[in-house]
Structure 1
Amino acid sequence: MLPLSELSQKAGALLAENNHVLVTAESCTGGGIAAAITDISGSSAWFDRAFVTYSNESKMDMIDVNPKTLNIYGAVSQETVEEMASGALRHSRGTVAISVSGIAGPTGGTAEKPVGTVWFGWKIGNSIEVQEMICFSGDRASVRNQACCHALAKLVDLLS
């Protein structure tokens, strides 16, 4: 996989080329995707904002994740990242959203959702909606970095 800086540049070029504006809704990555994006000069033309929704309360308050979704499926779930992406688009001028929620560790894992489990959501307007789960290995920093890279690599694929 390409380094985060190269993925950010590629994503930015594709967003600009397609007249899209990105918004992120991040939990376990803590704004890492947004930081990588805004490291690119000129990103204000194709990046609107980031919602760092680390707590369940922030997911509900800032981007309208349904409390029932969190109670039934948990924060680290397909259903939650789907609602995070949709909510981020509703509360921004974005046309493309990336959402991410996971367990970076070293604590917090369970048998069903071990440390390294990360759910992703991508939404492009009303035409493309994808969710995906990956279980990464490594320490907390590694899981978070891999998650940021994967989120942008998949965005590049979806926009290409």
Structure 2
Amino acid sequence: MIALLTERRLTVAVAESLTGGLLVAELIRIPGASAVVLGGVVAYNTALKHSVLGVDAELLAEHGPVHPDVASQMATGVREVLAVDGRPADIGLSTTGVAGPGPQDGQPVGTVFLGLAIRDDVSSLRLSLDGDRQAIRSRVVYESLQQLKSALNAS
């Protein structure tokens, strides 16, 4: 992943909720990551999704943090928040969902939304995962990287 981003001269910024930093940690585990990974924001508290990442407050009030539009807005927002020298990240990647142990805002455990913003192309992906808290969080990291890899291979 890091080699592909480096080859294409693309930068990535990460906004995480339920993964709590695991996704950006996985990205920077690879040598050379500093050339393409700008950083990560852990917006675990819902209010931070608005105040730090710019997610629409009305959207959060109406639907809560586990929603496809929240994931999309997190991915878009983190590109700007982690801009370097006024240049936003080329790619924003986000995670929001319910890892457990119980449901949140009416969403069952294992409901997850991944956000991906590559320049003006913004999308979200819904996952319905099984397992305990750690298994869900690990799977979200894996699926996020797969989503990014697929998008890069398609472009």
* TM > 0.5: yes
Identity in percent: 30
Q: What aligned pairs does 1:46-125 form with structure 2 within 5 A after superposition?
A: 46-93=36-83, 94-109=89-104, 113-125=107-119
State whether residues 76 and 122 of structure 2, in contact with CA within 8 Å, keep that contact through their aligned partners in structure 1: no
| 3-state secondary structure, aligned to 1:106 | coil
State whether residues 73 and 79 of structure 1, in contact with CA within 8 Å, keep that contact through their aligned partners in structure 2: no
Matched AA of 2:108:
P
| 3-state secondary structure, aligned to 2:96 | strand
Verify: 1:42 aligned to 2:32, yes or no. Answer: yes
**Which of these residues, 15, 35, 49, is aligned with residue 25 of structure 1?**
15
State whether residues 63 and 87 of structure 1, in contact with CA within 8 Å, keep that contact through their aligned partners in structure 2: yes
Give the number of equivalent residue pairs. Answer: 148
Regions of 4+ moved over 6 Å: none
Give TM-score scaled by structure 2 length.
0.91
Flag structure 1 segments of 5+ consecutive residues without an equivalent: 1-10
Flag structure 2 segments of 5+ consecutive residues without an equivalent: 84-88
Give TM-score scaled by structure 1 length.
0.89
Q: Which residue number corresponds to residue 136 of structure 2?
A: 143
